[in-house]
Amino acid sequence: MEKTKDLTSSSEAGSIKKRSQVKEVWRRFCRNKQAMVGMCMLLLLIFAAIFADIIAPYDPVEQDIINRLKPPSSAHWFGTDELGRDIFSRILYGSRISLTVGLIAVGLSSIVGCALGAIAGYYGGVLDNIIMRCTDVLMAIPSILLNISIVAALGTGLQNVMIAIGISSVPAYCRIMRASLLSLKEQEFVDASRAAGASDVHIIIHHILPNSLAPLIVQATLKIGGAILSCASMSFIGLGIVPPTPEWGAMLSTGRDFLRDAPHLTAFPGMAIMFAVFAMNLMGDGLRDALDPKLKN
């Protein structure tokens, strides 16, 4: 009975400690004004993506040739494009694609990269050499060239763009996870868990991964902005989202032909890309400062 009480009290103490750590991280994050600005910008972008059907005044693919290349006005806040489509509505709907690509591509790359990094760091030896040499090869290729090669092989489309961006981001997570494994796998709590008969998967998931989340969260936050920018770049060169689907990079690509006569065709999509990437960079910097134990004071 006493042992059961001791185990219960220790588990309760551990949960209280975790909650206090989360509160401390949140407090430090809230004290960072730039991080709060980034979070507000991100929430605004998410709100626009979720409620685009309600906020958008026009159908994003509906053409009105009579009102083509109209400048910003009360009827069309951001003007119209070369086919008379409302740019404001297309930017709202384009935020859905950008956020989807960013979240899914980063999620895919983080899962695959963390799994490979955990295997390489925990077991070492031949597996470590094979995995790390493969990541070295991927890192030696510029990400934009790697994305172009993958999309050219698989074909254009939203799914293939997400796969390409996810593959090019795998090495970063693999290296971070491997470095964390190398520094944590020899710790006493890992040896105690191993002596208690825990499996390797249990040790990695329940003991090592929670202690490696801080750098992974920061990396993922920053990579979302990079994924949005990569998606826009792929669409800009014609290898991304297929028209007439509204996407910021594709809007920039079509608007460059009318840069002198109608600069708003490129100005507003470019500002949307800058807004999203800037918000994620501010969030990433704020999370890095909040999760860094050296900055507690």
Please give the Cα distance from 297 to 273 (Å, whole number).
Answer: 35
Q: What is the pLDDT of residues 90-111, one digit of tens each?
A: 999 999 998 998 899 999 999 9
Supply the pLDDT for residue 269.
92
How would residue 210 be classed by pLDDT, with cut points 50, 70 and 90? confident
Q: To the nearest 5 percent, what fractions of the chain are helix, strand and coil? A: 80, 0, 20
Contact 238, 297 (CB under 8 A): no
More confident residue, 95 or 17: 95
Contact 272, 248 (CB under 8 A): yes
Contact 93, 85 (CB under 8 A): no
How would residue 19 be classed by pLDDT, with cut points 50, 70 and 90? low
Please give the Cα distance from 104 to 94 (Å, whole number).
Answer: 16
Supply the pLDDT for residue 44.
93
Question: Quick one: 32-295 is in which CATH superfamily?
Answer: MetI-like (1.10.3720.10)
Q: What is the pLDDT of residues 245-254, one digit of tens each?
A: 888 988 888 8
Q: What is the pLDDT of residues 130-165, one digit of tens each?
A: 999 999 988 888 888 888 888 888 888 888 888 999
78-86, Cβ contacts within 8 angstroms, sequence gap of 24 or more: 78/264, 78/268, 79/262, 79/264, 79/265, 79/268, 81/251, 81/254, 81/255, 81/265, 82/254, 82/255, 82/257, 82/258, 82/262, 82/265, 85/58, 85/60, 85/61, 86/56, 86/57, 86/58, 86/60, 86/62
Contact 193, 207 (CB under 8 A): yes
φ/ψ of 80, rounded to 5, equals -125, 160
Q: What is the pLDDT of residues 31-64, one digit of tens each?
A: 888 889 989 999 999 999 999 999 999 999 888 8
Q: Can you tell me the mean pLDDT for 73-90?
A: 90
Q: What is the pLDDT of residues 256-287, one digit of tens each?
A: 888 888 899 999 999 999 999 999 888 888 88
pTM: 0.82
Please give the Cα distance from 115 to 78 (Å, whole number).
Answer: 44
Supply the pLDDT for residue 16.
54
Give the CA radius of gyration of the chain.
23
Supply the pLDDT for residue 290.
78
- State the CB neighbour count (10 A cutoff) for residue 126: 8
Domain boundaries, the chain: 32-295
How would residue 118 be classed by pLDDT, with cut points 50, 70 and 90? confident
Residue 2 has pLDDT above 60, yes or no: no
Contact 216, 110 (CB under 8 A): yes
User: What whole-number percentage of the chain has pLDDT above 70?
Assistant: 91
Angle between helices 264-291 and 248-255 (to 10 degrees): 150
Supply the pLDDT for residue 268.
93
DSSP string for residues in 253-287: HHHGGGTTT-THHHHHHHHHHHHHHHHHHHHHHHH
Supply the pLDDT for residue 10.
42
Supply the pLDDT for residue 271.
93
More confident residue, 273 or 1: 273
